[in-house]
Each structure stands twice: as structure tokens, then as C-alpha cells.
Amino acid sequence: MSSYGIKVSEEVVAFICISVHPRDRYPSVVDELVKLNSVKEIYGVTGEYDLVVKLQAKNVKEFSEVLGKIGSLSGVAKTYTMLVVDLIKP
């Protein structure tokens, strides 16, 4: 019987969509995101969410910790996380 799972040592790459509310918290949310080492890119976007963040963590534990920090930021109303499972075109 085989088991499935993510190895703790494997790098995790994810895109996190962030909704900011109230809107005046946008600059402070961005300022806090910039301070996180695992946050590699931050995009301001249109649509349901205000920001999309590319997160690159050393392992699942670090990913979970950073995701928790992002979710607890003042002004972060909602997040949606997408884990990268395959790089199609670099």
C-alpha cells in the first residue's frame, strides 16, 4: 500500500488572493506583506480580490506559518490560496 503526502522538506509555491477591507488598510497591508521573506511578488489586481501574492516557502511548515501571518494582518478580510503543482512555462 502506498501513501500520499507532501514531504516536509519540499519547497512550496503558492499564489494567495487577498481581499482588503476597509479599503484604507490597503497601503498598510502591502507594507506588511513586503516585510515577509517568503513573499516574492505582490500584484494589485481587479476583480473580487485586491492583491495576489506569490509565496515561496522552504517547506510546508514555513508555508503554514506565513499563511497564518497573512490571514491575521489587520485589513485582510479574506484570502484564497492556490498551491502550484506544476510549472508549465517559466
Question: Over the stretch 27-63, which tens digit does the pLDDT of each residue have?
Answer: 999 999 999 999 999 999 999 999 999 999 999 999 9
> What pLDDT is recorded for position 29?
99
Domains in the chain: ranges and CATH? 12-83 (3.30.70.920)
Question: What's the Cα-to-Cα distance from 32 to each of 11, 36, 67, 73, 75, rounded to whole Å?
Answer: 23, 7, 13, 8, 11
Question: What's the Cα-to-Cα distance from 14 to each of 17, 36, 60, 74, rounded to whole Å?
Answer: 10, 14, 11, 21
pTM value is 0.87
